[in-house]
Amino acid sequence: MSLFVELKRRNVFKVSIAYAVVAWLVMQVADVVFDAIGTPPWVMQTLLVILAIGLLFAIFFAWAFEITPEGLKREKDVDRSQSITGRTGRKLDFAIIGLLVVALAYFIYESRFMDRAAEAPTGAQATDTATTGSDPVASAATAEPAIDASSIAVLPFANRSQREDDLFFTDGIHDDLLTQLAKIGGLKVISRTSVMQYKDTQKPIPEIAQELRVGTILEGGVQRAGNRIRINAQLIDVTHDQHLWAETFDREMSVENIFEIQSEITRQIVAAVRGELTEEEQRDLGQLPTDNMAAYEAYLKAQAALHRPDYVVDNYIEAGHWARQAVDLDPRFAQAWAILVETNGQSIWMGQDSSPARFEAAREALENAERLGPGLAETVAARAEYQYRVEQDFQAAAQTYARALAMRPGDAELLFRLAVAKRRTPDVEGALEAMRRAIELDPNNARVPTLLVETLGNMARFEEAEPMARDLIFRAPDAQDARATLAAIEMYSGRITEARATLEQVLPNAGATYYFALTELPYYENDFEKAVATWNSALVQRAVNSRGFMGHDYVGRAWAWRLLGQHETAVSEARKGIDVLRALEPTGTNHDAFEMTTLAELYALAGDHEAALAASARAVALMPKEQDFLYGSFMAQARVGTLALAGNREQALAELEQVLNSPYRPDNRAIWNDPRWDFMKDDPRFRALVAPDDAMDVSL
């Protein structure tokens, strides 16, 4: 008997078909359910692997076993004269037909009805759009805007050399081209971060264009061989489905030739989507950063280190190494000096090295950049970076970033930095606007909407922040800071159970947003023993051993013991924290103000009211709102609590009223629901400021 006939007799083919149809239906249902509950992509991938392995088991059981009237038996133990495989096969036929009918019905429903439902706005959405005209970033559910005809995405260039060592070079040329395009006014250029997600993608061009909301796509590749370089590029009008231009450049390897090729590509793009270059734009295209190929390669390696997604000091150390090598090879390389301003400034800002030598290195790098390239956007941005990181003059930094942005209007990174600087000034609305503009140019970068959500949260504008956070999590399930921020919003809104569920979906990390939500939530749950355990956890202890966070755990435990009625233990804990903080040397950075605020609260918890008030005043003096509007607002908020704890209710209530009228402010419900404010709830003036309408009158 042939193998095929035996497979057919044992119903192996029919079992396989039935299994495949069932597996397909399971995948469709799982796709809908997993989307609804926001599971990460690996869950679906794992299910697919399990179903594929299950097919092998189904085939094995169909071959090795047979269903009989007495139950499941091994096939070799069944008498052929009593075998009922024929009847089983007919039952399988009916089962397969039934499953196919179900699958067909689901397919028709999905293609005819679900797609229409997804495309049509709900009544609430239509009303919101018609009446408020809210922009698509601020309202996640409204219709998307029309695609801008002058919009373009430059996809990551393919590394045709197939050598890993050449990858930085290929990415660097792609990055330089984006930099040139960002200088062109009236051109919407999708940023590097968003397009890099399509590196080596198999997605069709029209689908990419739709996701990025652009009408034009440029794709290409770079190949290095010896002292030759070949760059090919093609420009595609996605809207009209036609190739606008294509060219292959084969030149001798030199910086001049590379920039000449980039300039030609830029001219073709501008001609296709906007028209001719202006004389000033044409002049800018001809500027070479250096004529030293080795220096240029070192510069590209520095850029590659800066473009890594993690905000860690190691990336800046590596970038500084390559930028220093670039200026050693070509001391007149202004753009490389500009990178050294940033790397030295970040070293100071992040607390890695605040020595006088580091400050001098940052100043020297800025002087060289401005002397060698006074008219470059990179140099102007370096001045802004120096004002922000080194001088911490945020108002001046915002103004200088605006100047750099005027020179490079399509640069999403400059927009982001402008927003970061402006949020530390009274122009908070200007910061929000810059964030929204940056999102348009960098739609796939979770960093920008995360900052927008966090900023709105700091302003207690939860009704705007929450839908944005949920939309961001839906589009970027790995956006951990957004989940932590959402948990904080739910916590402050009084939805404690939801907050805990959201927080448990966040991957544990020592980031400030997660750390804050994790340590605050137990107080709102009125679980003060859990608060102590959380502060003692290894994860939190790693965070509080960093400058700026020192002493937080002593404050947290002291409050928990106080709320548990163990006042002597609370005072003892506070005094331990005081000893730790008083032993620290000042850093000369904003960490000093945060640690002074923590010290003030510890003094108040220990009952040393005079020292608490003095430390609180010192903290505000170290970081006034006039210097840093964001952190200065945090200092003012913390001072209210210290004043109240120290028994100075009159001044505490007066300053609380000022805090609640500031752009950066706590939410009234957050204060009222926080048990650490229970000692103030008998004061009618406090109730008038923060109590919700349905609050029980505890003063009676």
pLDDT of the residue at 557 = 98
Q: What are phi and psi of 188, to 5 degrees?
A: -95, 110
Residue 662 has pLDDT above 90, yes or no: yes
User: Domain limits of the chain?
Assistant: 3-119, 148-275, 297-392, 526-690
Nearest to 322 by CA among 296, 346, 345, 347: 296
Burial (CB < 10 A; 0-12, 13-18, 19+), residue 48, is middle
Tell me the per-residue pLDDT of 339-361, one tens digit each, with 9 for 90 and over.
999 999 999 888 788 889 999 99
Listed range (7-21, 101-115, 148-162, 271-285) with the worst mean pLDDT: 101-115
pLDDT of the residue at 568 = 97
**Top-confidence range, 249-253, 542-546, 661-665:** 661-665
pLDDT of the residue at 88 = 59
pLDDT of the residue at 266 = 87
**103 or 248, higher pLDDT:** 248
Residue with tokens 């200092």, as numbered in its chain? 635
Helix ranges restricted to H, 38-142: 41-64, 85-109, 115-119, 123-132
> What does the alpha-carbon distance between residue 236 and residue 215 come to, in Å, rounded to a whole number?
9
Give the mean model confidence (pLDDT) for residues 157-164.
Answer: 79
> What does the alpha-carbon distance between residue 446 and residue 110 come to, in Å, rounded to a whole number?
30
Q: What are phi and psi of 159, to 5 degrees?
A: -90, 95
Tell me the per-residue pLDDT of 586-615, one tens digit each, with 9 for 90 and over.
887 788 999 999 999 999 999 999 999 999
How far are the Cα atoms of 35, 45, 446, 504 from residue 40, in angstroms, in the given order?
9, 10, 15, 14
Task: Return the C-alpha torsion angle 388, 392, 393, 398, nearest 10.
Answer: 20
pLDDT of the residue at 478 = 80
String of DSSP letters for 85-100:
HHHHHHHHHHHHHHHH
DSSP state of 114: I
Give the mean model confidence (pLDDT) for residues 174-197.
Answer: 87
HSE on the CB side for 645, CA within 13 Å?
26
Listed range (7-21, 413-427, 543-557) with the worst mean pLDDT: 7-21
> What does the alpha-carbon distance between residue 126 and residue 139 come to, in Å, rounded to a whole number?
12
- The residue type of 567 is H
Q: Are 410 and 154 in contact (CB under 8 A)?
A: no
Helix ranges restricted to H, 110-204: 115-119, 123-132, 167-182, 192-195
Q: How confident is the model at residue 138 (pLDDT cuts 50, 70, 90)?
A: very low
Instruction: Examine domains 297-392 and 526-690 and report if their fold is the same.
Output: yes
Radius of gyration of the chain (CA): 31
| Sequence-separated (6 or more) residues with CB below 8 Å from residue 645 | 601, 604, 605, 609, 612
Task: Convert 122-151 to b/e letters by CB count within 10 Å (16 or more is b).
Answer: eeeeeebbeeeeeebbbbbebeeeebeebb
> What does the alpha-carbon distance between residue 559 and residue 557 come to, in Å, rounded to a whole number?
5
Q: What is the CATH number of domain 297-392?
A: 1.25.40
pLDDT of the residue at 680 = 96
> What does the alpha-carbon distance between residue 416 and residue 193 come to, in Å, rounded to a whole number?
12
> What does the alpha-carbon distance between residue 215 and residue 148 come to, in Å, rounded to a whole number?
7
10 Å Cβ neighbour count for 646?
A: 23
pLDDT of the residue at 125 = 38
Residue 286 has pLDDT above 90, yes or no: no
pLDDT of the residue at 123 = 36
Tell me the per-residue pLDDT of 359-414, one tens digit each, with 9 for 90 and over.
999 999 999 999 999 989 999 999 999 999 999 999 999 999 999 999 998 899 99
Q: How confident is the model at residue 131 (pLDDT cuts 50, 70, 90)?
A: very low
Q: Which fold has domain 526-690?
A: 1.25.40
> Judging by DSSP bridges, how do beta strands 214-225 and 148-154 pair with one another?
parallel
Average per-residue pLDDT for the chain? 84
String of DSSP letters for 328-382:
HH-TT-HHHHHHHHHHHHHHHHTTS---HHHHHHHHHHHHHHHHH-TT-HHHHHH
Residue 276 corresponds to which tokens in the numbers above?
Answer: 């001719």
> What does the alpha-carbon distance between residue 66 and residue 294 come to, in Å, rounded to a whole number?
72
Helix ranges restricted to H, 494-590: 496-503, 512-524, 528-536, 538-544, 552-563, 567-582
pLDDT of the residue at 330 = 97
Tell me the per-residue pLDDT of 309-328, one tens digit each, with 9 for 90 and over.
667 788 999 999 999 999 99
pLDDT of the residue at 526 = 97
pLDDT of the residue at 588 = 78
pLDDT of the residue at 107 = 61
pLDDT of the residue at 141 = 38
Q: How confident is the model at residue 262 (pLDDT cuts 50, 70, 90)?
A: confident
SS3 content of the chain, % helix, strand, coil (to 5): 65, 5, 25
Q: How confident is the model at residue 39 (pLDDT cuts 50, 70, 90)?
A: low
Q: How confident is the model at residue 126 (pLDDT cuts 50, 70, 90)?
A: very low
Listed range (36-45, 283-292, 301-310, 500-509) with the worst mean pLDDT: 36-45
Provide, rounded to the nearest whole percent, the portion of the chain with pLDDT above 70. 82
Listed range (104-108, 439-443, 493-497) with the worst mean pLDDT: 104-108
Provide, rounded to the nearest whole percent, the portion of the chain with pLDDT above 90. 48
Q: What are phi and psi of 151, to 5 degrees?
A: -100, 145
Q: 27: part of which helix (H) or strand (E)?
A: helix 12-37
Chain CA centroid to CA 700, Å: 48
pLDDT of the residue at 83 = 53
Burial (CB < 10 A; 0-12, 13-18, 19+), residue 430, is middle
Residue 275 corresponds to which tokens in the numbers above?
Answer: 């028209």
Q: How confident is the model at residue 282 (pLDDT cuts 50, 70, 90)?
A: confident
Give the mean model confidence (pLDDT) for residues 492-507.
Answer: 93
Tell me the per-residue pLDDT of 663-673, one tens digit each, with 9 for 90 and over.
999 999 999 99
Q: Select from 3.40.50.1370, 3.40.50.10610, 3.40.50.1820, 3.40.630.30 the CATH code of 148-275.
A: 3.40.50.10610
pLDDT of the residue at 692 = 84
Residue 85 has pLDDT above 80, yes or no: no
> What does the alpha-carbon distance between residue 263 and residue 38 come to, in Å, rounded to a whole number?
44
Residue 507 corresponds to which tokens in the numbers above?
Answer: 């991957």
Residue 146 has pLDDT above 80, yes or no: no
pLDDT of the residue at 453 = 94
**15 or 415, higher pLDDT:** 415
Helix (H, G, I), strand (E, B) or coil at 311: coil
Q: What are phi and psi of 189, to 5 degrees?
A: -110, 120
Tell me the per-residue pLDDT of 225-239, one tens digit each, with 9 for 90 and over.
878 888 989 989 888
Q: How confident is the model at residue 481 (pLDDT cuts 50, 70, 90)?
A: confident
Helix (H, G, I), strand (E, B) or coil at 214: strand
Give the mean model confidence (pLDDT) for residues 504-532.
Answer: 90
pLDDT of the residue at 35 = 62
pLDDT of the residue at 464 = 96
**695 or 57, higher pLDDT:** 57
